[in-house]
Amino acid sequence: MKDYYGVLGVQRNATESEIKKAYRKLARELHPDVAGAEGEERFKEVAAAYEVLGNADKRAQYDRGVDPRAASGSAGGAQGFGFEDIFETFFGGGAGPFGSAQRGPASRTQRGGDTLVQTEVTLEEAVFGVTREIQVDLADVCGTCHGSCCAPGTSPTTCRQCNGSGSVQRVARSLLGQVMTTAPCPTCGGYGSTIESPCTDCAGQGRTHSRHTVSVDIPAGVETGTRIRMSGVGDAGVAGGQKGDLYIEIRQRAHQAFERRGDDLHCTLEVPMTAAALGTVMTVETFDGPQEVDVRPGTHSGSTVRLKGLGVGRLQRAGRGDLHVHLDIVTPTDLTDEQADLLRQLAALRGEEIPEARLAPIGGGVFSRLRDAFMGRER
């Protein structure tokens, strides 16, 4: 009795999936289209082995010492062989008995496509969020045929070529005999029916296009590139299919005074030299209204004052970022004679008529402060 396990190269206790995997591997390697005529006999041996071991009842007989192929007189032929696996191995699809795929007519109904539109928001709208009305062209279910694709008073007709199955069968010759293959019907396109009188308003598509006004809730924290998904608001599908999704892509407009870095806002406040030396309280206009900024005596240019919670609303969590006010100390350049004289008197009182050149320590100079201000660090 032939060793079918040895032919497939598997152990006697191999699982069904292991046997199937081994067979498919060998069948691909030994098929005459790959291995040539010299592989034909070996291919037949592999096919015969899988005919037995791939069937639970026949495998049980074989394990008891009975060769089902010899017992049924099919040792010299391929009758009863698993054409489903041959078809699946070489054609990539499921098949029924003798390679005939079991399938029904395809549905005309298709899901609508997704639609992408862009909208621009100001920085203030990104900080707090906004509701925006957007104009967009979308497909709707045809109001005349209501998605049937047929002219009023008509309906699809059963295809005469496939009798409504949506597929036709063809016989192909192979090494193992005749194999029945299945393909979509060329007359109806696989739908099983034809539309003799398509709707003229939608050209038989079951949908028409029109301009829509869509209200979009844009949350706080969006930025350029953020996409908002509105499920089921996109194009209606063909033949009354469900609607796709609408995506709104955000573009954030730049602001003249405020710069955004993540969830934080940054701005620069010009402070007179005298106010920086003496200290003062200045008022700045923010998105939350006027806010006081405490300028401490002796403030250097590049110093930063942080106003907590006055930044951008966070998109994924509660709260807001901060507002960083960078102080720019303004040195006067258009002094009057009286003002210049007063400054000379101040310099004399401080012993700075001829200032001593001293290098600032690393980390404490103006360049470090400017660097920290640029990086959003606080001192």
Q: What are the binding residues for Zn(2+)? A: 142, 145, 159, 162, 185, 188, 199, 202
As beta bridge partners, residue 98 has: none
Q: Is 325 exposed, middle or buried (0-12, 13-18, 19+ CB in 10 A)?
A: buried
Binding residues: 142, 145, 159, 162, 185, 188, 199, 202
Residues in Cβ contact with 259 at an 8 Å cutoff, skipping those fewer than 6 apart: 265, 266, 267
C-alpha–C-alpha distance, residues 372 and 365, integer Å: 11
* Dmax (CA) of the chain: 125
Distance CA 205, CA 310 (A): 52
Q: Look up residue 217 and give its two tokens.
A: 């809730």
